[in-house]
C-alpha cells in the first residue's frame, strides 16, 4: 500500500468524481516502493487539458505545458503536473517529439516513457498497474528501456545519461541490451544542450556511485575530457566542487574544461582552490594557508583532504578554529595607527610582516608591543 498525500488524493478524487481515470505515475511510485524520498508527484489522466482547466478552475493553474497535454495545478501550495494520456510522433533533434496525440489508453501512454521502473502507475482503488514488468526490474535492481532501447535513445538521447544516472543513484545495473544501445547511440549526446547534459552529469557525479562512468569512458571524455576516474570518487563527500576537483585534478586545463561546460564562477573558484591545496599537509603552516588564502573555500578543501586521508573532518575543523590570528584585521593595530613616516604603499607590507611575527610568537599582539617593534625595527 502506497500512502499518498492529501493534496494528491484531492486531485484524483476530483477527476474520478467526474468519471475520468487518473493515476499517479513515474518516479514517485518508483521511490515509494524503494522507500526513498519523493520530490514530487505526477498524475496521468484521460481528461483533456481544457477539461482539467474547467475542473480545477478554483485552483491556480499553469498552462505553459498545455500544448504537450500538461496542466500544472497548484493545490495547497504544491505544484502538480497533470498530463493527458498521449502518444508521441517522430522526434526532432534526438530530443523532442514533433507531434503529440491524445489517447484513451493508459498502456499506450506508459509505452512512451523511458524505463520500465518509471512506467508504474498507482491508484488507491486499483493498486499498482505494471504494463512493462517494472516491478520485476525494480526487484532485480535493473534499468531497462521500454520496448526497443535503440529506438528509445534515438528518439531522446538524454535518456542515455538518465539511464546512467538512475543506475548510479539507485546502485542498479543496466540491462545488457540497454547498455549495448548506450554504447551504440552515445554519439547522439552531441545533440543535447549543455544545460541538460550538466544537469544529469552533476547528479551522477554526486551520486552514491559516480565511478559508474568507468563503464562509459567515451561519455566521460565527452563531458569532461578525461579518460578515467578512480573509485575513490565513490567515497568522497557528495559535494559537486569536491568531486569535480578530484575528477580534474590531474588535468592541466581543468579551468578551460569547466568554463567550456559553463560552470558558474563560484564553482570554478572552489574547484581551483581544492586542486591547488590537494597536497596541503594540514600542519600549522598549511592551516594558515587555508585560513589566509581561502577564507570561503577552506571548509570544502578540508572535507576533501580529510576524506582522502581518513581524518575526522570535525576534529580538523576545530583545530583550524583554534587559530584566532591569521589575518591583519586580527592585529591590535590598523593602518591608521602606523606612524606617518611609513609611506601608504608600504603599510600593507608592514602589517603583513607584523602578522607573521605575531603568528610565530615573536611579538605580542598588543598595540604597545606592535608600535614599539615598528619604532625599533622598521622606521
List all residues 6 or more positions away from 33 whose beta carbon is below 8 Å from its beta carbon. Answer: 2, 120, 135, 138
Buried/exposed code over 124-148 (b: 16+ C-beta within 10 A; e: otherwise): eeeebbbbbbbeebbeeebbbbbee
Question: Both ends of the chain: CA-CA distance in Å?
Answer: 82
List all residues 6 or more positions away from 122 whose beta carbon is below 8 Å from its beta carbon. Answer: 2, 4, 23, 24, 25, 29, 32, 128, 129
User: Which triple of cell numbers denotes residue 328?
Assistant: 591583519
Which pLDDT tens digits describe the chain residue by residue (379 residues)? 799 999 999 999 999 999 999 999 999 999 999 999 999 999 999 999 999 999 999 999 999 999 889 999 999 999 999 999 999 877 777 777 778 899 999 999 999 999 999 999 999 999 999 999 999 999 999 999 999 999 999 999 999 999 999 999 999 999 999 999 999 999 999 999 999 999 999 999 999 999 999 999 999 999 999 999 999 999 999 999 999 999 999 999 999 999 999 999 999 999 999 999 999 999 989 999 999 999 999 999 999 999 999 999 999 999 999 998 999 999 999 999 999 889 888 999 999 999 999 998 899 999 999 999 998 887 6
In angstroms, rounded to a whole number, what is the distance separating the alpha carbons of residues 115 and 42?
16
Strands (E), the chain: 22-25, 42-45, 61-62, 70-75, 78-84, 86-88, 91-92, 96-97, 100-102, 121-123, 127-129, 142-143, 173-174
DSSP lists the bridge partners of residue 23 as: 44
Amino acid at each position: 500500500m502506497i500512502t499518498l498525500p492529501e493534496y494528491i488524493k484531492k486531485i484524483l478524487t476530483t477527476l474520478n468524481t467526474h468519471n475520468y481515470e487518473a493515476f499517479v505515475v513515474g518516479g514517485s511510485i518508483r521511490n515509494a516502493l524503494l522507500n526513498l524520498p519523493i520530490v514530487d508527484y505526477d498524475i496521468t489522466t484521460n481528461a483533456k487539458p481544457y477539461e482539467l482547466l474547467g475542473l480545477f478552475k478554483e485552483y491556480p493553474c499553469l498552462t505553459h505545458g498545455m500544448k504537450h497535454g500538461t496542466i500544472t495545478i497548484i493545490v495547497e501550495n504544491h505544484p502538480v503536473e497533470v498530463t493527458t494520456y498521449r502518444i508521441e510522433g517522430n522526434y526532432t533533434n534526438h530530443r523532442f517529439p514533433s507531434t503529440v496525440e491524445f489517447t484513451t489508453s493508459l498502456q499506450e501512454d506508459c509505452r512512451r516513457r523511458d524505463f520500465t521502473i518509471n512506467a508504474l502507475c498507482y491508484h488507491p482503488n486499483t493498486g499498482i498497474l505494471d504494463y512493462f514488468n517494472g516491478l520485476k526490474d525494480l526487484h532485480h535492481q535493473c534499468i531497462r528501456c521500454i520496448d526497443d532501447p535503440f529506438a528509445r535513445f534515438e528518439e531522446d538521447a538524454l535518456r542515455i545519461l538518465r539511464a546512467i544516472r538512475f543506475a548510479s543513484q539507485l546502485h542498479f545495473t543496466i540491462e545488457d541490451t540497454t547498455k549495448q544501445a548506450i554504447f551504440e547511440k552515445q554519439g547522439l549526446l552531441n545533440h543535447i544542450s549543455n544545460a541538460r547534459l550538466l544537469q544529469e552529469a552533476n547528479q551522477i557525479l554526486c551520486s552514491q556511485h559516480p565511478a559508474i562512468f568507468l563503464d562509459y569512458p567515451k561519455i566521460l571524455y565527452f563531458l569532461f575530457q578525461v579518460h578515467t576516474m578512480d573509485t575513490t570518487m565513490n567515497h568522497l563527500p557528495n559535494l559537486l566542487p569536491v568531486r569535480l576537483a578530484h575528477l580534474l585534478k590531474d588535468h592541466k586545463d581543468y579551468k578551460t574544461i569547466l568554463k567550456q561546460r559553463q560552470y558558474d564562477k563560484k564553482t570554478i573558484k572552489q574547484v581551483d582552490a581544492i586542486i591547488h591545496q590537494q597536497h596541503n599537509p594540514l600542519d600549522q603552516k598549511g592551516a594558515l594557508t587555508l585560513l589566509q588564502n581561502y577564507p570561503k573555500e577552506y571548509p570544502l578543501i578540508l572535507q576533501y583532504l580529510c576524506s582522502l586521508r581518513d581524518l575526522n573532518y570535525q576534529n580538523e575543523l576545530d583545530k583550524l578554529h583554534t587559530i584566532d590570528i591569521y589575518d591583519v584585521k586580527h592585529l591590535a593595530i590598523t593602518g591608521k595607527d602606523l606612524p606617518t613616516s611609513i609611506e601608504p604603499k608600504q603599510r600593507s607590507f608592514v602589517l603583513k610582516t607584523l602578522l607573521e611575527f605575531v603568528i610565530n610568537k615573536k611579538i605580542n599582539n598588543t598595540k604597545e608591543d606592535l608600535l614599539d617593534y615598528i619604532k625599533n625595527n622598521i622606521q
